[in-house]
């Protein structure tokens, strides 16, 4: 009977877990819709703005180039790792941590690498290296363009001051609820688009193209970072919804198996009791 009690307790525990994961799945599904609409709406604007900026930068002479386009010998690299503040999202966070680690140990093995953590999971993963210069996880508490623009300005100031020669952004790009693509983008310096089409493009500038680029670059960089964080935010809810869906299915399967085991054990116990009663009755008759 103790075995039956243990199985009942496990069934109750698994059922409670299944209710929790099912609820988390529904919450993530509701948040995903809003986050997906936001990134889908802004992605064309951000991509076109970046394309325009790169095309304009390609037309500038070396002497009149922007301070954000300055190409230096890469000695110090800053990697912006964008994760989430919470777990239970499958491989969402671990994939970013693995990619940042790969960049650190392989691509920039001979450079001095530091990190900016956007998301508590990234901060927890890299803080032991003593290379995290800033933790901006609080941005997810109020994810607005203004709050992200402050982080972008912080990164731009670090580059202009010469603290870092290159800044990379690593995040999950949203494709659909079940698919997130680990993406690495160069944030600074800006790389002009090459090619004959851009070189021969005929633009009419009003005011001067230098002034236009100088005003456009900060806005474009802030938009680029905002898009990356928005992508990651939508990917997080998609990954969590998928993970909780799988967890709910696994819990249901385990509960059904436990119920089958419980019924078999209960049937065996009843059969043994019947046999004991029959055996006792025969002993009395004899």
Note the pLDDT tens digit of each residue in 169-209: 999 999 888 889 999 999 998 876 654 445 555 667 777 77
Summarised one tens digit per residue, pLDDT across range 113-136 is: 999 999 999 999 999 988 999 999
Specify the number of domains making up the chain.
1
Reported as a pLDDT band with limits 50, 70 and 90, residue 52 is confident
Indicate whether 250 belongs to any domain: no
Given a contact cutoff of 8 angstroms between Cβ atoms, the answer to whether 169 and 233 are in contact is: no
CA nearest to 92, candidates 245, 236, 199: 236
Given a contact cutoff of 8 angstroms between Cβ atoms, the answer to whether 173 and 231 are in contact is: yes
What's the predicted TM-score (pTM) here? 0.83
Q: What is the per-residue pLDDT for 64?
A: 46
Indicate whether 134 belongs to any domain: yes
Reported as a pLDDT band with limits 50, 70 and 90, residue 63 is very low
The Cα–Cα gap between 186 and 166 comes to 8
Q: What is the per-residue pLDDT for 208?
A: 72
Indicate whether 128 belongs to any domain: yes
User: Domain range spanning residue 194?
Assistant: 21-243
Indicate whether 146 belongs to any domain: yes
| 243, pLDDT greater than 50 | yes
Indicate whether 144 belongs to any domain: yes
CATH of the domain at 202: 3.40.1380.10
Indicate whether 274 belongs to any domain: no
The Cα–Cα gap between 58 and 201 comes to 10
What proportion of the chain, given as a percentage, has pLDDT over 70?
90
Summarised one tens digit per residue, pLDDT across range 79-90 is: 999 999 998 898
């Amino acid at each position: 009977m103790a075995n039956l009690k243990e199985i009942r307790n496990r069934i109750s525990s698994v059922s409670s877990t299944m209710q929790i994961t099912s609820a988390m799945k529904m919450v993530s599904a509701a948040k995903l819709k809003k986050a997906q609409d936001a990134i889908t709406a802004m992605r064309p604007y951000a991509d076109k703005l970046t394309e325009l900026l790169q095309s304009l930068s390609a037309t500038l002479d070396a002497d009149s180039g922007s301070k954000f386009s300055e190409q230096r010998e890469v000695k110090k690299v800053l990697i912006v790792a964008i994760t989430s503040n919470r777990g239970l999202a499958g491989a969402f966070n671990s994939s970013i941590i693995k990619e940042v680690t790969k960049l650190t140990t392989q691509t920039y093995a001979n450079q001095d690498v530091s990190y900016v953590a956007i998301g508590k999971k990234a901060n927890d993963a890299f803080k032991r290296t003593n290379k995290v210069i800033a933790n901006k996880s609080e941005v997810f508490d109020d994810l607005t363009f203004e709050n992200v623009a402050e982080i972008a300005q912080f990164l731009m100031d670090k580059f202009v001051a010469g603290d870092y020669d290159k800044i990379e952004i690593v995040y999950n790009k949203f494709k659909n609820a079940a698919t997130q693509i680990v993406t690495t983008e160069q944030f600074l310096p800006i790389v002009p688009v090459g090619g004959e089409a851009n070189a021969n493009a005929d633009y009419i500038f009003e005011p001067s193209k230098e002034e236009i680029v100088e005003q456009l670059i900060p806005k474009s960089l802030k938009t680029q970072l905002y898009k990356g964080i928005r992508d990651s935010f939508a990917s997080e809810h998609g990954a969590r919804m998928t993970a909780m869906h799988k967890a709910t299915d696994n819990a249901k399967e385990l509960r059904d198996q436990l119920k089958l085991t419980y019924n078999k054990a209960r049937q065996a116990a009843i059969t043994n009791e019947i046999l004991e009663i029959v055996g006792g009755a025969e002993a009395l008759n004899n």
